[in-house]
Amino acid sequence: MYRLRDAGYQAFLVGGGVRDLLLGREPKDFDIATDAHPEDVRRLFRNCRLIGRRFRLAHVYFGRDIVEVATFRSSEDELAPDDESLLLKDEEGRILRDNRYGEIGDDVWRRDFTANSLYYNIADFSIWDYTGGVEDIRAGVLRLIGEPEARYREDPVRLLRAVRFAAKLGFRIDSASEAPVRDLGFLLESVPPARLFDEVLKLFLGGHAVASYELLRHYGHFGHLFPAVDAMLDSEAGEPYRALLLEALQNTDRRVADDEPVTPVFLFCVLLWGPVRRRATYLEERGESPVQAMLLAADEAGDEQQRHVAIPRRITTPMKEMMVMQLRLQKTRGRRVLGMLGHPRFRAAYDLLCLRARIGDADPALAEFWTRLQALDEDARLAEVDPGGRRKSGGKGAPDGGARTDGEAGTDGEAAADADRPARSRRRRRPRRRKPAGSAD
């Protein structure tokens, strides 16, 4: 900000950073508003990159931190005839391109909520408030700037931002701003799925997942983001999955509050578990093996979901591994069981199993077994999965009722029978005669 000011530009701290400081919260990031154009910012900062097609922004990098620098935008009333090429809207009123620059007095009316429209000036350490944002923050009110329906149509993601800020801050949405929220949910279908993925992460991985989920369901937006999940939650068979999802979101909020890591892989695995398992059951009834049915069901659910919220492959691949491991964790006998403990997805799969057991979707004894196994030393683990230290053998009669594979133990009865069986005599093989060189085959 001081470098911009020293170069002759205005520079204000703006948006959520100012709001959070007034609320006594630690800002997640900082945004800067300036009258410098993006190209001017890039000239001042070598560690700068310009992004955005709908509206050009400058990202200034300081290590892993990014400071977003936006040029003051012009109000639509100030649009000159020769500037119409800089503003493009679709049939629903959604802004597709907007690179019209103006002054701070114009820029404030382009922001979404009054609580996010405060400017902190480093020149005299004052807050510039054009819309009554300070008073709304004190009152805990989330109020949209301008005519609500028109503002939502300009950018339908504001529907989700209203939910997120209300959940995160504990604010109530102003009645005029809330009135069109439910009826305009269909606008979310025109938002690029990749952008909705980013919004979903902000909704569910920011420490306010439960409140966000409840508000999304209340306004009907959850169905536009996850239609298959929403349909299952509303069905008669949805009870265990409603409890599972709520339990997982509560656990996520606790981890964020305790400053522990959270992962989108676990989030999307829980979200899609209900539809995937129902589809997998159907495919098993049609003759597919359990593992193959789970993989096919996960692929189908993932492909369908991509049309609404685009989930990257870096998430879907480990998500499917977690789902398949729910089947493999059902096996508790044989030395191969110990290999599961070293699997990269074991911990996440184990956590999902424990959540499922807690709400009655899995056998609690199974979760207890894996909990107990992790606490044992190597010898005790081997004794747990292979009582008596039975030697490797093949054939039928595996303890869990299935066909045995290499490394799994036989029953005690088979071991005793092997001990009583006389040793086989080995027949000595005659040495093979070599053919003379050059002889015919």
Q: Which residues are catalytic?
A: 29, 31, 112
Q: For 282-314, give one letter per residue: b (16+ CB within 10 A) or e.
A: ebeeeebebeebbbebbebbbeebeebbebeee
Beta strands in 57-136 (DSSP E): 57-62, 65-71, 87-89, 95-98, 118-121, 126-129
Q: How many degrees, rounded to 5, is the angle at CA 175 between CA 169 and CA 180?
A: 100
Distance CA 70, CA 55 (A): 9
CA terminus-to-terminus distance, the chain = 89
**What is the residue type of 281?**
T
> How remote is the C-alpha of 49 from its chain's centroid?
26
Nearest Cα residue to 385 out of 408, 355, 418: 408
DSSP H or E segment with residue 407: none
How far from the centroid of its chain's Cα atoms is residue 5's Cα? 39
Residue 220, both tokens: 């009907």
